[in-house]
Every structure is written in structure tokens, then in C-alpha cells.
Amino acid sequence: MSTNAAAIPKACACLVDAKGRLLVFYQPADDGMQLPKGTIEPGESPEDAVRRELLEESGIHFTGELVPLGTMDRHCEAGIEGNKHRHAQLWHLYLMRAQGPLPETFEHVAHGSPEEDGLVFSFSWLAQDQEPVGFAKPYLQAIARAREAVRTLPPSSD
């Protein structure tokens, strides 16, 4: 069953480095691992939203090419990821290639969202062959889609 127009639109950043590793972070409020993702604001395109969300949640200003990975329906229960009510979401997934080297691990104080402002997100890289542990099911689905796309991409020019 597909979600309808009432689904809350989300933009999810699948940022990969030159080694094909995916940028992930620990979200302390949810005690779990996530990908940078957030709500697409009224009048905002999914492409603009994914860039904004990556900046707000990681501090990374990405100006490179976005590779659309399609959309994904998610049914979100109340009490998950700061959500107070049960609702449908429509995730817009984008693969992004890091524009140069980034640290192996780093922390960033999130901003831009009342639920996340001031939270410290701990970032790391998830290798292609590394088991994703501590992620909710929708993130696992997004990771699988990003990994498949990375396998089919031409080598990075970096």
C-alpha cells in the first residue's frame, strides 16, 4: 500500500566518501543510528531540503551533484524520532559524493529543528561490507538502496 498526499515529505542524504562508505550518525535522543534526514518545508524542493538537512545535522555544506535514489514510504509510529503522532512519511533519497576528504569521526551540534537543536550528533562512516547495527528498518532500507547505487557508480574522479 502506498502513502497518499497526506504523507509528510522527508529528504534523506546518503553521503558517500571516495571509499564508498556512507556517512551515518548516532542520534542521542532516539538512542539509535541514522542518516541525515528531515522534513521538506512548504515550498522547498526535495533537492534543496536534502542539502539543508545535511548542513543542519552534520555541518557539511554540499554543493555537488545529487543522484536521486527514488522515494520510499514509511509508516512512523508515535514516540519514534521525536514524533508525537502516528503518520505516513514519503522519503526522497539522494546519493551524494563527498567533495573531498572528511574526518573519520566527528561531532556536530544540530540546529534548525526544535526537536534536535543543541543535540550533539556523533558521525562516522559505514563501509560497504559493514553490518549496519542500531538502525531502524527504514534506515536499513535506505542504506541498502544507497549501497546498490554505489556499486553501479563509475569511480570517483577525486
Q: What is the pLDDT of residues 32-68, one digit of tens each?
A: 999 999 999 999 999 999 999 999 999 999 999 999 9
- Collapsed DSSP state (helix, strand, coil) of residue 146: helix
- What CATH code is carried by the domain that includes residue 100? 3.90.79.10
Following DSSP, what letter does each residue of 76-139 receive, concatenated? Answer: E-TTSTT--S-EEEEEEEEEEE-SS---SSEEEE--SSTTTTT-EEEEEEE-TTS---SB-HHH
Does any domain span residue 127?
yes
The CB density around residue 143, as the number of other CB atoms within 10 Å, is 19
Q: What is the pLDDT of residues 129-138, one digit of tens each?
A: 999 999 999 9
Does any domain span residue 105?
yes
Does any domain span residue 157?
no
Q: What is the pLDDT of residues 4-18, one digit of tens each?
A: 558 999 999 999 999
How many whole angstroms separate alpha carbon 129 and alpha carbon 125?
Answer: 12
What's the confidence (pLDDT) of residue 104?
A: 97
Does any domain span residue 158?
no
Give the mean pLDDT of 110-130.
92
Does any domain span residue 126?
yes
Domain hosting 92: range is 8-152
Does any domain span residue 43?
yes
Does any domain span residue 21?
yes
Does any domain span residue 33?
yes
Q: Which residue has the cell 534536535?
A: 116
The domain total for the chain is 1
Residues in Cβ contact with 71 at an 8 Å cutoff, skipping those fewer than 6 apart: 90, 91, 92, 93
